[in-house]
Amino acid sequence: MFQRQKKIVSKTLSQFKTELPEKDEHKMSREYKKLSPKMKKAVDAIFKEMESKPSDFLNTFDKTINTISKKFNVPHKQILDYFENEVLTVM
């Protein structure tokens, strides 16, 4: 009889993380696709910041939006409106 050998696949944590579908899931939304290229870069930067400091993010959300809006020259209100629209479409 044939014996089946199991192939062991080893991946580093960073390789595994890049393959997770949730990583760039926000880019698939209808609201994100409506954004200008400049706004998309700003939103991507906010999500990147969220990933780097997930435990502290809620405490610094408004400060992060202010920083990102200045960096990308995008109105603060426009970023807040994007997140509000995303929340409303999920509900």
Q: What is the mean pLDDT of residues 47-76?
A: 88
18-46 pLDDT per residue, tens: 555 566 778 888 899 999 999 999 999 99
Q: How far, in whole angstroms, is CA 6 from its chain's centroid?
A: 35
| Burial tier of 65 (Cβ tally within 10 Å: 0-12, 13-18, 19+) | buried
Residues 6+ apart with CB under 8 A from 76: 65, 66, 69
pTM of the model: 0.70
- Contacts for 58-67 with beta carbons within 8 Å, 24 or more apart? none
